[in-house]
Amino acid sequence: AQSVTQPDIHITVSEGASLELRCNYSYGATPYLFWYVQSPGQGLQLLLKYFSGDTLVQGIKGFEAEFKRSQSSFNLRKPSVHWSDAAEYFCAVGAAGNTPLVFGKGTRLSVIA
């Protein structure tokens, strides 16, 4: 069965600092991988996704993620964090067909001045 682990429950970074949010997945075949962001009281918005091809994917709001098959990881990065990036971030894994996405428990990002 698919599973997703986000080891960090809460991360605090300074504005302008770089960011890396970790995501590890468990899945037998090549997964479809996603990062979503959720602002307080809002729905989830897709940041980026990986299906195949180039293992470094670019997303919205200056985010990128790198798929590393050998480490079963799909970490999210941003070179310079803005205060508006404070939110909850969810990693998810899926597969072709009708299987619903499996989500991690999320990482809450706080940004300090």
Partner 1 sequence: ETGVTQTPRHLVMGMTNKKSLKCEQHLGHNAMYWYKQSAKKPLELMFVYSLEERVENNSVPSRFSPECPNSSHLFLHLHTLQPEDSALYLCASSQVGDSGELFFGEGSRLTVL
Contact at 8 Å (CB) between 96 and 32? yes
Q: Minimal distance in Å, beta carbon 102 to partner 1? A: 9
In the complex with partner 1, the residue whose CB is nearer, 73 or 103, is 103
Q: What is the spatial distance between Cα 76 and Cα 74, in angstroms, rounded to a whole number?
A: 7
The closest alpha carbon to 36, from 24, 50, 46, 49, belongs to: 46
Contact at 8 Å (CB) between 102 and 72? no
In the complex with partner 1, the residue whose CB is nearer, 5 or 15, is 5
In the complex with partner 1, the residue whose CB is nearer, 14 or 39, is 39
Q: Minimal distance in Å, beta carbon 37 to partner 1? A: 11
> Which stretches of the chain bind partner 1, using CB under 8 A?
32, 34, 36, 41-46, 49, 51, 90, 92, 94-101, 103-106
Q: What is the spatial distance between Cα 103 and Cα 106, in angstroms, rounded to a whole number?
A: 8
In the complex with partner 1, the residue whose CB is nearer, 28 or 41, is 41
Cα distance between the two ends of the chain = 41
Q: Minimal distance in Å, beta carbon 68 to partner 1? A: 19
